[in-house]
Amino acid sequence: MAAARPWGERGSAVLELPRTPRLVCVEYPGLVRDVGAMLRTLGGEQGVSRIYADPAKRLELYFRPRDPYCHPVCANRFPTSTMLLKVKRRTKKKKQSEAEEQIQPEVQFEMEILGIVTTVYKFQGMSDFQYLAMHSAPDGKPTSMYDKVLMLKPEKEEFFNRELPLYIPPPIFSRLDTPVDYFYRPDIQHREGYNNPQVSGENLIGLSRARRPHNAIFVNFDDEEIPTKPLDAAVQTWKKMCTNPVDKKVEEELRKLFEVRPVWSRNAVKANISVHPDKLKLLLPYLAYYMVSLYICPLPLSSLRQARARVHQLGVPGPSEVICP
């Protein structure tokens, strides 16, 4: 313990810094009048100790601990090197007669270092939205549903078969609990003489950078002409990148998949063959084309509107999710 000596308002004191105990600080976002009630909002001493034992967890504060629908406010853990200081201010008044001038009372301070704070929990986020268990009555008056949706004791079958208004609280309201400033990105300043590529607006994400074409062919379902061979650039690119036996094996596996079924989605292809995503981007334009409104089809599949292709026209996933050989 660090003993303190009295000192005046303008004086100074020398204290011993104890090595123990090591303390944990929680910057509680409220005025604490009842320590017990405050600890219950943090999960009690056991809850705080359990969170402190795992450095990756965040400390949760429930303003309504008994409400299972209460959304918590989370505190982040930070290391710190501070100390807890106890200061006492003692005022000694002197007796004086009426004739004497008023004398300032003697003030003394006593200090004591209670411990070293090595960890601090700070509530830096905003309080999440709160969704109460209630519904609006026919007259518009809100009515609580806690006695109807919370099972506080063993209940009979009638408790579960009662007619109640639909109450489905959302699992999450905000993806982030801290405010974020969104900075709009300025226009890209290219070198002098650069011109944006003259390409169609289809399948173009943006003009912030030059296109990185993979020579894929995109076909709509109502197109009359169906490609029968890949683009020459796609063939040259794959021949250039296919330099080891593993690539040859992947190419043969993809050909066998198209023999089994002429229409595949990208996820189905990745689930059946083991290939790096960068290599798959080069292999698919070499062996197949994309049906924008359906699947990935092999080359050359004449038309998906034939009677034999009706089994492949059941699902309609998102754009560019279909591959045809």
Contacts of 266 (CB under 8 A, 6+ apart): 284, 296, 321, 323
What is residue 322's predicted lDDT score, i.e. its pLDDT?
47
In this structure, are residues 297 and 305 in contact, taking their beta carbons and an 8 Å threshold? no
| Structure tokens given for 231 | 């683009």
What is residue 42's predicted lDDT score, i.e. its pLDDT?
93
What is residue 316's predicted lDDT score, i.e. its pLDDT?
39
What is residue 59's predicted lDDT score, i.e. its pLDDT?
93
What is residue 201's predicted lDDT score, i.e. its pLDDT?
55
What is residue 106's predicted lDDT score, i.e. its pLDDT?
80
Q: What is the pLDDT of residues 267-310, one digit of tens each?
A: 888 889 888 888 888 888 888 888 776 555 666 555 455 555 55
| Structure tokens given for 194 | 């650069």
Q: CA nearest 215: which of 287, 267, 298?
A: 287
Residues of the chain with pLDDT under 70: 1-13, 94-104, 196-212, 293-325
What is residue 320's predicted lDDT score, i.e. its pLDDT?
40
Relative to beta strand 142-144, strand 218-219 is: unpaired
Domains of the chain, CATH where assigned: 1-91+106-136 (3.30.200.160), 218-324 (no CATH)
What is residue 39's predicted lDDT score, i.e. its pLDDT?
93
Q: What is the pLDDT of residues 188-218, one digit of tens each?
A: 777 777 776 665 555 555 555 555 677 888 8
